[in-house]
């Protein structure tokens, strides 16, 4: 609450609000410093085939351990980075890290990287992606970029142009958090995505809520009709996996198979699953 004091127009804030503003400012200062030093980590979460449990790929997920505070959830700091204009630098760093990592994996294992709308809209984004791929020596078809529906909110024609250029490059484009945000089915006609990703919230409610079940089933059918892959996120229980299988959902990701992993844990995993490339559900998750 701001108020006027004496004739001066000085703004005071409630102490709580002032604290919040200061916290925000200090978070931003720390984030700037971290971006300048690339002081982030990337974890990788397996994506598997629902029928065979074969490993299809990993999603790269950004991690920030804020000095003196501990881990900050990406949902929180990425928004701050976007608002402060830091996301393009940060996003380019993640993309290069993830592509470098993926080079050492078997060629049928892809890497998915989240991309913000500001990155897509920054001039030369498609060229940047192409140059990272050729620098690290990764086949474009092994990279999938995940974009959220928010792209359709400030849908300017240039973002669609970028999507087309990326697709021509041979990179996959997944529509992330499908059905959660600003959705119009119209844009599925306008651009051919390579994959739809269903958000964790749908999957979580699927077994308990009939309507959530219906929504998941409709998305799976829609993907099949469009001829695109569909991944369910947030699969935590064998029951959820079996419902998704029955529905015909092709891919799954979630704690049932694995939490996001440190890069160092990937080579041992690949050795362990060997030619079979199938992940068995985590033993502790089976109880869930
Ligand atoms: P997302 O892209 O939808 O990623 C999936 C989120 O679901 C991840 O959260 C993942 O850890 C979580 N998850 C996966 N399986 C399960 C499960 O079985 N149960 C539960 N409860 N959660 C599960 P995370 O890592 O916290 O990331 C949150 C969001 O932050 C991501 O959502 C994505 O939108 C954004 N993000 C992460 N890394 C990046 C990045 O490098 N760039 C951009 N622009 N955004 C990123
Ligand atoms: Mg994602
Ligand atoms: Mg998602
Ligand atoms: Mg999400």
Distance CA 113, CA 144 (A): 6
Distance CA 256, CA 236 (A): 4
Average pLDDT over residues 5-16: 62
The alpha carbon of 242 and the centre of ligand 1 are apart by a number of angstroms equal to 23
Pocket-testing residue among 61, 63, 83, 199, ligand 1, by greatest number of atoms within 8 A of Cβ: 61
pTM as predicted = 0.91
The alpha carbon of 174 and the centre of ligand 3 are apart by a number of angstroms equal to 10
Distance CA 241, CA 232 (A): 9
Residue 287 tokens read as: 């109880």
DSSP state at residue 259: -
Q: Between residues 45 and 159, which one has the greater pLDDT?
A: 45
The predicted pLDDT at position 65 comes to: 97
The predicted pLDDT at position 55 comes to: 94
pLDDT digits (tens, 9 = 90+) for 224-278: 999 999 999 999 999 999 999 999 999 999 999 999 999 999 999 998 887 565 6
* Ligand 1 binding pocket, CB closer than 6 Å: 45, 61-62, 73-75, 78, 91, 94, 114-116, 146, 176-177, 200, 233-236, 253-255, 260
DSSP state at residue 180: T
The predicted pLDDT at position 286 comes to: 43
Residue 214, exposed/middle/buried by CB under 10 A (0-12, 13-18, 19+)?
exposed
State the complex-level ipTM.
0.98
Ligand number, closest to the Cα atom of 47 = 1
The predicted pLDDT at position 183 comes to: 63
The predicted pLDDT at position 179 comes to: 78
The predicted pLDDT at position 12 comes to: 62
For the CA of 256, the nearest atom of ligand 1: 18
Ligand number, closest to the Cα atom of 235 = 1
User: Please, what is the Cα angle at 168 between 228 and 92, to 5 degrees?
Assistant: 95
pLDDT digits (tens, 9 = 90+) for 85-139: 999 999 999 999 999 999 999 999 999 999 999 999 999 999 999 999 999 999 9
The predicted pLDDT at position 56 comes to: 95
Enumerate residues with CB within 5 Å of ligand 4 (an ion): 177
Residue 51 tokens read as: 């029928």
The alpha carbon of 32 and the centre of ligand 2 are apart by a number of angstroms equal to 23
Mean pLDDT, the chain, integer: 89
Give Rg (Cα) of the chain.
Answer: 21
Pocket-testing residue among 114, 195, 257, ligand 1, by greatest number of atoms within 8 A of Cβ: 114
């Amino acid at each position: 609450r701001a108020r006027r004091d004496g004739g001066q127009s000085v703004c005071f804030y409630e102490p709580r609000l002032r604290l919040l503003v200061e916290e925000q400012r200090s978070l931003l200062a720390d984030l700037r410093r971290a971006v300048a030093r690339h002081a982030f980590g990337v974890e990788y979460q397996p994506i598997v085939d629902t029928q065979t449990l074969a490993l299809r790929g990993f999603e790269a997920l950004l991690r920030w351990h804020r000095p003196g505070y501990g881990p900050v959830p990406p949902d929180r700091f990425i928004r701050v980075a976007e608002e402060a204009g830091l996301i393009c630098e940060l996003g380019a760093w993640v993309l290069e890290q993830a592509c470098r990592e993926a080079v050492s994996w078997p060629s049928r294992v892809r890497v998915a990287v989240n991309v913000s709308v500001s990155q897509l809209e920054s001039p030369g984004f498609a060229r940047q992606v192409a140059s990272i791929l050729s620098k690290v020596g990764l086949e474009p078809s092994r990279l999938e970029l995940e974009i959220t529906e928010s792209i359709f909110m400030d849908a300017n024609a240039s973002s669609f142009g970028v999507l087309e250029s990326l697709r021509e490059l041979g990179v996959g484009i997944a529509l992330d958090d499908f059905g959660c945000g600003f959705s119009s089915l119209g844009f599925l006609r306008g651009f051919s995505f390579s994959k739809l990703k269903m958000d964790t919230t749908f999957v979580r409610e699927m077994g308990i809520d009939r309507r959530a079940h219906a929504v998941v089933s409709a998305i799976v059918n829609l993907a099949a009709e469009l001829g695109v892959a569909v991944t369910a996120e947030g699969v935590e229980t064998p029951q959820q996996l079996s419902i998704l299988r029955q529905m015909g959902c092709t891919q799954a990701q979630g704690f049932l198979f694995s939490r996001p992993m440190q890069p160092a844990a990937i080579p041992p995993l690949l050795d362990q699953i060997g030619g079979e490339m199938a992940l068995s559900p985590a033993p502790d998750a089976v109880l869930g």
